Structure 1
Amino acid sequence: MSPMSVPPHVVFMNVAATGHMNPTLPLVAQLRARGCKVSYFVEDTMRGVVEAAGAEWHPFRYANSGLTGTLKCLDERGIEKYVPDGTPKEEYLHFTSSMVYNAEVLLPTLLEDLEAIRPAVIVYEPFLAFPQVAAHVLGIPAVGLMTMTGPGVLQNSDDLMSPPWVQGPRKEILDTYGFDVLKNGMPMEFYSTTLNLVTTISELYIPPAPGRQQEKFGNCPFQCIGVMADPEVKRIANAHIKEGSVQELAMAEVEEARSLGRQVLYVSMGTVATSDYFWNSPFGAFGADNGLEHCTGKQLTQHVFRSCFEALGGDDGVLVIVSLGPQEDVLDGLPAAPENFLLRKAVPQLEVLLRCSAFVTHCGANSMHEALSLGVPMAVVPIFGDQPLNGDSVAASGAGLCFRNPLDTLSVASLRSALQQIMDPSETNSFRASAKMMSEKLTATGGVKAAAEAVLAQLRPRKATAGGA
């Protein structure tokens, strides 16, 4: 960088969800290490980790509102403006209905803030409709950062685009800013026509599906960059749990167990099934492909925990670490936890995986990639979204076993059998060997450094003026 040049300024935009935030934090730190200035727009609950990574935190500002994140559903103004009288609430009061409207109401203040910051590139979560509009107005590139294994895991319905609360704000944005958010986008799939970084490897990547996705996104470039994790960068254990409010896991106790020749098993059902949204509500259409449409987060989580208690309780050769999640009633009705189990509401996942022999997981994309990057085989209990496909990929790679329809396939006996195979300490354990092979492939893809180089390759350098930046 020449003395007269201005350090590149990269702006991140994201939703305040564990799996969407964590992969971005090492990239923030890497860009800062390379001399960039980084600003991060996200809900205020993420301010601590954003600033710890080296970014300047910014709220999303809304006129006449104290909201600092993204809309979870249409607000009163949006309902009055776009929803016909008599429309059932279940048709419009959900996340996908608010995405384009969120862009309409946010863009005026967001553009004010961005004009003051003068970024060179925007890195954003493709769930969000507004980053590409802002980049278009500012004349800068926008880079999507997808924390799943590719667009083919979503395949959302065209029905999501037709309601007036989607088409109305679409027209407002097009008329005001000259950008059609649905030309190359759909709710939850606003991919960049410049570049989309995907936190996976080519062997696990799922491209746009034939038909509507291929039509919409076939010309959008996707680049696999591998796992985005760095144990040196502070991250979120669970976005639904306040930092410092839970008992920490003593790694000394885990190390002592390992020194005595005990294996370590990690059990976590992620952060979505245990959230307030799904804890007491059926997964519905989200879980239809997995036999879970009538199952709640609590029912599935307790089914998994109970099976683990009974399959491994009293086995002195195994220390089981369980991430319970935020719900206070998670253990209600379950038998007492066996003595060889350590239960915590949240644990530092990377630190635990580093010490594990195996992982019982819902197989969210981050959990899958982090486990594979460390050579940890998995017993997969997928829930919805990309997780069933992720579980299929793990099984196909030989790095684990998948309980594809868990209410039918997961039992004490089947779990015990799976774990005996996956945790076999002998040199002939094919699951461990396959996980190690996947780890090598993830490392070779480049990870955080590859992502930083891809972002920096999009920059359009801006020289300083005589008066400064």
Structure 2
Amino acid sequence: MTDAKRIVVAGMPAAGHFNPSLPIVRELARRGFEVTYYTSDDFRARVEEAGCEFRTYPAGTLGPADIAEATRNGGPVRVVARVLTATEALLPLLLSDLDTRRPDAIAFDSNAIWGRMAAARLGLPMISLMTTMLIGGKAMARLNAREWLHFLGEAIPGVPAARSAKRRVVRQFGKDAYPPAPGLPMRGDVTVFPVPRWMQSPDPRIDDGCHFVGPTIRPPREDAPLDDELAAFTDGPEPVVLVSLGTLHAGSDAFFRACFEALGGLPARILLVAGSHTDPARLGKPPANTLIRASVPQLEVLRRAAAFVTHGGMNSALEGLACGVPLVVVPQQVEQLVIGEAVAGRGAATVLRHNLSKRPVPVAELRAAVENALSGSSPREAAQAIGASLGEDGGAPAAAEAIEDYLRTRHPG
């Protein structure tokens, strides 16, 4: 390696963004890089366990709850406004810290505007850590009229706040440092995509600096412990169906009751992850085959699962496929529709897109999709084939190699 050894990482404090980045920074640290990772206190222990220096975002600037609230109550445009507002506080913090100890490069989550702007202001190499593929105009064309109306109805109210926040950031820090159009997600001099190349549709933004390294998720541990209740529930004779809409999206009470009705009569054990914003008491008594939990160790449960009802976020989709589990994708936004359709195109998923227009998921269709995942050999075989191929692009070591190679060209010798 060259003498360009210090990298600062500006993270996005949300599990679906943090989790893919952690194996990459761990690998960089293993190779001798000194890595300083900025994110919220929620992730301190895991950053330090990876051998990196942890630096916290000040309380009240940005955390997982802020991103989840913006996602639930306004979608992507509201998230952009929240990120821009955080940039007003986080960019000065980053620039002040780096003024006394200048790194050799800045890596940033592809949505962490303050990280890219800090690199632009300081003239440092930019390393973008993507969490999904690039979504272009063709993806939006997949929406039907009803879905478009819902998307616009959710997005338009958030536009004034996003524009106002952008004006404040540009006025305070200058237009030259602001990311070029089309904005989020942002690429860098090196852009690492921890996703399979086949998931990415043709896009003119893909260039030689883009590296598709496949998933960086850790393999599920064979001996990973579960608490007594989960262990007993997942070790029974019937197949396990995991139902989870991720950490940012809150499933509605109506959706969870539909799961009761659709899956309660199946010869399976239904593990329903309702999240912290759902009071199970509101849902009524669950069927005898259903266990409700606020959260679970997802990878360890998926190793024991036979089907996965998911929102189709990239992290969750790849974790399911890594464990050879066929998916039933209930997308909450366009990106997840694209992910679900890509997996469905390979035979490993069924997509139920009703929520994109706020229609209830039909009980009969949900039951049929889960029954097909449980009883049909084709979805299971397709998921297992994808899972077996996910390591072919190199994962975290390939990501670290791409970063190291780029920095070597900047600092030869």
TM-score, scaled to structure 2: 0.80
* Aligned twin of 2:279: 329
Inter-partner Cα distance in structure 1 for 2:36 and 2:172: 28
* Aligned twin of 1:280: none
* Aligned twin of 1:268: 244
Is the contact made by 1:121 and 1:458 (CA closer than 8 Å) also made in structure 2?
A: no
Where in structure 2 are the equivalents of 1:279-358 lying within 5 Å? Answer: 297-298=251-252, 302-315=253-266, 317-332=267-282, 334-358=283-307
Q: More deviation in 346-355 or 22-31?
A: 22-31
What is the CA-CA distance between 1:101 and the residue it aligns to? 5.5
Matched, 1:361 2:310: yes
Inter-partner Cα distance in structure 2 for 1:345 and 1:161: 32
What is the CA-CA distance between 1:355 and the residue it aligns to? 1.2
Matched, 1:122 2:106: yes
* Aligned-partner SS, 2:46: helix
Given candidates 12, 35, 48, the residue that maps to 2:32 is 35
What is the CA-CA distance between 1:218 and the residue it aligns to? 6.2
Is the contact made by 2:324 and 2:384 (CA closer than 8 Å) also made in structure 1?
A: yes
* Aligned twin of 2:214: 226
Matched, 1:437 2:385: yes
What is the CA-CA distance between 1:440 and the residue it aligns to? 2.8
Q: Select the structure of larger CA radius of gyration.
A: 1
1:331–1:413 distance in 2 versus 1, CA, 3 Å: farther
* Aligned-partner SS, 1:418: helix
What is the CA-CA distance between 1:437 and the residue it aligns to? 2.1
Is the contact made by 2:326 and 2:348 (CA closer than 8 Å) also made in structure 1?
A: yes
Inter-partner Cα distance in structure 2 for 1:310 and 1:100: 42
Q: More deviation in 360-369 or 413-422?
A: 413-422
What is the CA-CA distance between 1:345 and the residue it aligns to? 0.8
Inter-partner Cα distance in structure 1 for 2:372 and 2:84: 47
What is the CA-CA distance between 1:353 and the residue it aligns to? 0.9
What is the CA-CA distance between 1:13 and the residue it aligns to? 1.1
Inter-partner Cα distance in structure 1 for 2:261 and 2:5: 55
Inter-partner Cα distance in structure 2 for 1:267 and 1:161: 34
**One-letter amino acid matched to 1:420:** E
What is the CA-CA distance between 1:387 and the residue it aligns to? 1.1
* Aligned twin of 2:170: 170
- Say which structure is richer in helix: 2
**One-letter amino acid matched to 2:115:** P
Work out the number of aligned pairs and report it: 379
Inter-partner Cα distance in structure 2 for 1:400 and 1:379: 6
Is the contact made by 2:62 and 2:86 (CA closer than 8 Å) also made in structure 1?
A: no
**One-letter amino acid matched to 1:346:** S
Is the contact made by 2:24 and 2:400 (CA closer than 8 Å) also made in structure 1?
A: yes
Inter-partner Cα distance in structure 1 for 2:272 and 2:398: 33
* Aligned twin of 2:148: none
* Aligned twin of 1:410: 361
What is the CA-CA distance between 1:383 and the residue it aligns to? 1.0
Matched, 1:453 2:401: yes
* Aligned-partner SS, 1:458: helix
Inter-partner Cα distance in structure 2 for 1:348 and 1:220: 37
What is the CA-CA distance between 1:160 and the residue it aligns to? 7.6
Where in structure 2 are the equivalents of 1:7-86 lying within 5 Å? Answer: 8-60=5-57, 67=60, 69=62
* Aligned-partner SS, 1:58: strand
Where in structure 2 are the equivalents of 1:238-277 lying within 5 Å? Answer: 248=227, 250=229, 252-254=231-233, 256-257=235-236, 260=237, 262-274=238-250
Inter-partner Cα distance in structure 2 for 1:351 and 1:70: 25
Is the contact made by 2:254 and 2:360 (CA closer than 8 Å) also made in structure 1?
A: no
TM-score, scaled to structure 1: 0.71
Is the contact made by 2:14 and 2:63 (CA closer than 8 Å) also made in structure 1?
A: no
* Aligned twin of 1:393: 342
What is the CA-CA distance between 1:135 and the residue it aligns to? 1.9
Aligned-CA RMSD value? 3.3
Inter-partner Cα distance in structure 1 for 2:121 and 2:359: 51
What is the CA-CA distance between 1:350 and the residue it aligns to? 0.6
* Aligned-partner SS, 1:368: helix
Is the contact made by 2:130 and 2:193 (CA closer than 8 Å) also made in structure 1?
A: yes
What is the CA-CA distance between 1:28 and the residue it aligns to? 2.3
**One-letter amino acid matched to 1:226:** G
Matched, 1:381 2:338: no
Given candidates 196, 199, 202, the residue that maps to 2:194 is 199
1:135–1:226 distance in 2 versus 1, CA, 3 Å: same
* Aligned twin of 1:81: none
Inter-partner Cα distance in structure 1 for 2:17 and 2:8: 16
Inter-partner Cα distance in structure 1 for 2:270 and 2:347: 23
Inter-partner Cα distance in structure 1 for 2:334 and 2:44: 28
Is the contact made by 1:403 and 1:409 (CA closer than 8 Å) also made in structure 2?
A: no
Inter-partner Cα distance in structure 2 for 1:358 and 1:105: 43
What is the CA-CA distance between 1:408 and the residue it aligns to? 4.9
1:441–1:409 distance in 2 versus 1, CA, 3 Å: farther
1:134–1:182 distance in 2 versus 1, CA, 3 Å: closer
What is the CA-CA distance between 1:402 and the residue it aligns to? 0.8
1:11–1:271 distance in 2 versus 1, CA, 3 Å: same
Is the contact made by 2:262 and 2:363 (CA closer than 8 Å) also made in structure 1?
A: yes
What percentage of residue pairs aligned between the two structures are identical?
Answer: 31
Inter-partner Cα distance in structure 2 for 1:249 and 1:184: 51
* Aligned-partner SS, 2:106: strand
Query: 1:141-163 CA deviation, whole Å, 9 max, x = no partner?
Result: 11111111224388799x78994
Is the contact made by 1:9 and 1:38 (CA closer than 8 Å) also made in structure 2?
A: yes
Structure 2, unaligned runs of 5 or more: 68-73, 141-154
What is the CA-CA distance between 1:168 and the residue it aligns to? 4.5
Given candidates 421, 424, 437, the residue that maps to 2:372 is 421
**One-letter amino acid matched to 2:348:** A
**One-letter amino acid matched to 2:279:** D
1:251–1:116 distance in 2 versus 1, CA, 3 Å: farther
Structure 1, unaligned runs of 5 or more: 74-89, 209-213, 234-246, 275-296, 464-469
